[in-house]
């Protein structure tokens, strides 16, 4: 942890906020690299090659100080023919698979990574890759030994860790950025600084040939174009830029890249596009069967209810979930309220149409939505029995606020008109 201490000393001249942020980044990165160091020792003793990708590889090669680039998790790559041995070594180090796959053979046959968690006070999450990219089309075109042929060793704690060659690293960073839709200032900066540091030794011709053979010319071009947007100087030699622009891209390449940033939000489209763009009829048929009929343990994660016939109900909900995205605005309009995000990204309950004073905002059976309601000294709704009623006329899009003190006699909490649940003072006097 000496470099973390050095991070603290180097930031003494900065203000407290910057110093604290740098120390937090340095501590987080060293915590992750410590796990990589332990794995490197165990893998080296077992004779299993281990490759670091993305943030970990950049920390070992590009960034000289641990606070210069934050890491969210650890990404490593192993050869597909050593995956079983690698999993045994990871379990021996305390790692546990933290996701339930669709089927036991879904990784490594169809999916490119498995998520591993190393427990602790602050757990470390590691993505164990057998292939460098997510789209299934790329899995059929990128050879299993693609990044290994030209990989270079670096020392970590006295044990070797492999990293991609300079041109393979640039290819991986650019394609990764394109797969995520070009959204990631940190990943753009990685590409800019990598070219600035290793541009003189990059084999541009080999980079272009590799991208062409692996059907990655289009994502390489898009990733480099996104990185160029945050740099005033030209990143690429003119001949390389022109060669990428002249490289044709088929409809399958374009469709696969268009869908890749949308995979998490549109899982059914992800399966359909993967089937359309991936070569190999038998391979695609096996993938479709695994994706459309997952094991019950996987369905349990998305359907928590326990009742007779839960598995068919879980499958029905899974296939009809895309319809809820279209029906949600209509349901919110009919219900009168909807869950939205405020300016700070917190989920709150707001009106989806105008609600009159003393109208029912939430009924007893909708009580689960109360957790999204704020409390304050100036409420606009009140609780009456098992229902939530409007204190005054509510505008569309107004956030709902319950009184912070239910016993408060604030005049805003008094109903404007008598309701069946609360008679007026004349009826009480009578």
- Where in the sequence is the domain holding 302, given as residue range(s)? 296-330
In the three-class reduction of DSSP (H, G, I as helix; E, B as strand; rest coil), residue 181 is classed as coil
Same-domain pairing of 147 and 254: no
Residue 246: CB atoms within 10 A of its CB come to 8
pLDDT of residue 17: 52
Residue 285, token pair as written in the block: 């048929």
Same-domain pairing of 3 and 149: yes
Distance separating alpha carbons of residues 185 and 15, to the nearest angstrom: 24
Same-domain pairing of 10 and 128: yes
pLDDT-derived band of residue 372, with 50, 70 and 90 as boundaries? confident
In a domain, 286, yes or no: no
The greatest distance separating any two alpha carbons of the chain, rounded to the nearest whole angstrom, comes to 95
For residues 88 and 94, the answer to whether their CB atoms sit within 8 Å is no
In a domain, 171, yes or no: yes
In a domain, 267, yes or no: no
Distance separating alpha carbons of residues 401 and 362, to the nearest angstrom: 13
Residue 51: CB atoms within 10 A of its CB come to 22
pTM over cut 0.75: no
Same-domain pairing of 43 and 157: yes
Put residue 94 in one of left, alpha, beta given phi > 0 → left and psi -120 to 50 → alpha.
Answer: left
In a domain, 291, yes or no: no
Residue 355, token pair as written in the block: 């609600």
- Average pLDDT on 147-173 reads 94
Same-domain pairing of 243 and 348: no
Nearest to 318, CA basis, from 334, 340, 301: 301
- End position of a domain, from candidates 330, 354, 374: 330
Same-domain pairing of 179 and 250: yes
pLDDT of residue 121: 76
Distance separating alpha carbons of residues 375 and 53, to the nearest angstrom: 46
Tell me the pLDDT tens digit for each residue of 96-134: 887 777 777 788 888 888 889 998 777 899 999 999 999
Same-domain pairing of 101 and 181: no
Same-domain pairing of 21 and 153: yes
Same-domain pairing of 148 and 220: no
pLDDT-derived band of residue 378, with 50, 70 and 90 as boundaries? confident
In a domain, 236, yes or no: yes
Same-domain pairing of 95 and 222: no
Q: How many domains does the chain have?
A: 4
Same-domain pairing of 30 and 171: no
262-267: Cβ within 8 A, 24+ apart: 263/134, 266/322
In a domain, 290, yes or no: no
pLDDT-derived band of residue 327, with 50, 70 and 90 as boundaries? low
Residue linked to tokens 């998305």:
302
Q: List, as one string, the DSSP characters of 281-299.
A: HHHHHHHHHHHHS--HHHH
For residues 45 and 62, the answer to whether their CB atoms sit within 8 Å is no
Residue 38, token pair as written in the block: 């332990």
Nearest to 165, CA basis, from 177, 156, 153: 153
How many residues would you count in the chain?
A: 430
Half-sphere exposure of 421 (CA within 13 A, CB side): 13
Helices H, strands E: what count in the chain? 17, 14
């Amino acid at each position: 942890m000496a470099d973390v201490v050095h991070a603290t000393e180097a930031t003494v001249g900065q203000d407290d906020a910057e110093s604290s942020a740098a120390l937090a980044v340095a501590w987080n990165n060293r915590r992750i690299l410590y796990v990589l160091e332990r794995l490197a020792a165990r893998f080296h003793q077992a004779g299993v090659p281990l490759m670091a990708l993305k943030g970990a590889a950049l920390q070992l090669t590009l960034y000289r100080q641990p606070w210069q680039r934050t890491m969210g998790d650890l990404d490593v790559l192993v050869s597909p023919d050593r995956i079983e041995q690698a999993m045994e070594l990871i379990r021996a180090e305390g790692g546990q698979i933290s996701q339930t796959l669709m089927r036991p053979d879904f990784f490594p046959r169809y999916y490119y990574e498995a998520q591993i968690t190393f427990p602790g006070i602050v757990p470390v999450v590691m993505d164990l890759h057998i292939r460098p990219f997510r789209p299934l089309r790329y899995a059929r075109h990128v050879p299993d030994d693609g990044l290994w042929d030209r990989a270079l060793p670096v020392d970590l704690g006295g044990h070797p860790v492999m990293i991609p060659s300079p041109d393979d690293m640039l290819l991986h960073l650019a394609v990764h950025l394109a797969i995520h839709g070009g959204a990631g200032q940190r990943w753009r900066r990685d590409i800019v600084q990598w070219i600035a540091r290793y541009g003189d030794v990059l084999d541009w011709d080999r980079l272009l040939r590799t991208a062409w053979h692996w059907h990655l010319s289009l994502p390489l071009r898009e990733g480099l174009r996104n990185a160029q947007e945050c740099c005033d100087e030209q990143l690429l030699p003119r001949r390389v830029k022109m060669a990428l622009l002249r490289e044709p891209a088929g409809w399958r390449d374009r469709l696969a890249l268009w869908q890749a940033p949308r995979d998490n939000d549109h899982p059914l489209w992800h399966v359909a596009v993967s089937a359309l763009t991936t070569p190999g009829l038998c391979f695609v048929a096996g993938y479709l069967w695994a994706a459309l009929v997952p094991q019950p343990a996987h369905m349990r994660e998305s359907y928590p209810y326990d009742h007779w016939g839960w598995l068919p109900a879980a499958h029905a909900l899974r296939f009809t979930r895309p319809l809820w995205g279209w029906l949600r605005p209509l349901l919110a309009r009919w219900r009168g309220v909807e869950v939205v995000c405020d300016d700070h990204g917190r989920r709150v309950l707001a009106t989806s149409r105008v609600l009159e004073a003393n109208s029912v905002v939430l009924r007893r059976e909708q009580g689960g939505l109360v957790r999204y309601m704020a409390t304050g000294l100036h409420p606009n709704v009140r609780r009456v029995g098992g229902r939530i009623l409007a204190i005054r006329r509510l505008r569309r899009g107004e956030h709902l606020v319950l009184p912070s003190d239910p016993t408060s006699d604030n005049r805003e909490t008094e109903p404007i008109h008598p309701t069946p649940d609360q008679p007026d003072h004349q009826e009480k006097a009578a």
